[in-house]
Amino acid sequence: MHKYYYNSSSSSPSEQQPNVDNNDTTIIPMEKTFYHRIDVDKGYYIVDPGNDLPRTKERFRKFQTDKPDLIEKWNGVIERFPTNDAIKDIFKSKDVLLYMGHGSGSQFYPVDDVQKNSSRLCVLLMGCSSA
């Protein structure tokens, strides 16, 4: 089994390195991996894009009313899916994307395009087939 160790700094002293006595070990500086900071105020939501989940829509609107400070700086759409140009802009300008609808959203925008166009976006999928 290959083991990966993540260090918080690539310049840490060797005594802080894990004991790596076999060839199946890789040490990766943390800043070179998936870890990055996201600005939770730079969010976008897509809720019920198929316009067939009335209770989901109702709950989300209640959440917006009851807890406005949590996503007050977010913008988004309800009952529709953004245009392809809008999606590309979201990938470039937002840090968080919340999807609440059927499936994973790939019926509106292909997963391959998401992976090609977004390197930092944290996507929260809330729908069947989102795992």
Under 8 Å between Cβ of 24 and 3: yes
Q: Are residues 47 and 15 in the same domain?
A: no
Q: Are residues 62 and 103 in the same domain?
A: yes
Residue 15 is assigned to a structural domain of this protein: yes
More confident site: 109 or 87: 87
Q: Are residues 48 and 82 in the same domain?
A: yes
Q: Are residues 90 and 109 in the same domain?
A: yes
Among the listed residues 52, 35, 15, 43, the one whose alpha carbon sits nearest the alpha carbon of residue 99: 43
Handedness of CA 26, 30, 32, 33 (dihedral sign): positive
Handedness of CA 66, 96, 40, 130 (dihedral sign): positive
Domain that residue 99 falls in: 43-126
Tally of domains within the chain: 2
What's the CATH code of the domain at 96? Answer: 3.40.50
Strand order in the sheet with 122-126: 75-78, 43-47, 96-100, 122-126
Using the predicted structure, report yes or no on whether residue 98 has a pLDDT greater than 60: yes
Q: Are residues 84 and 109 in the same domain?
A: yes
Using the predicted structure, report yes or no on whether residue 28 has a pLDDT greater than 70: no
Model pLDDT for residues 30-71, shown as the tens digit of each residue: 554 555 678 889 999 999 999 999 999 999 999 999 988 888
Residue 103 is assigned to a structural domain of this protein: yes
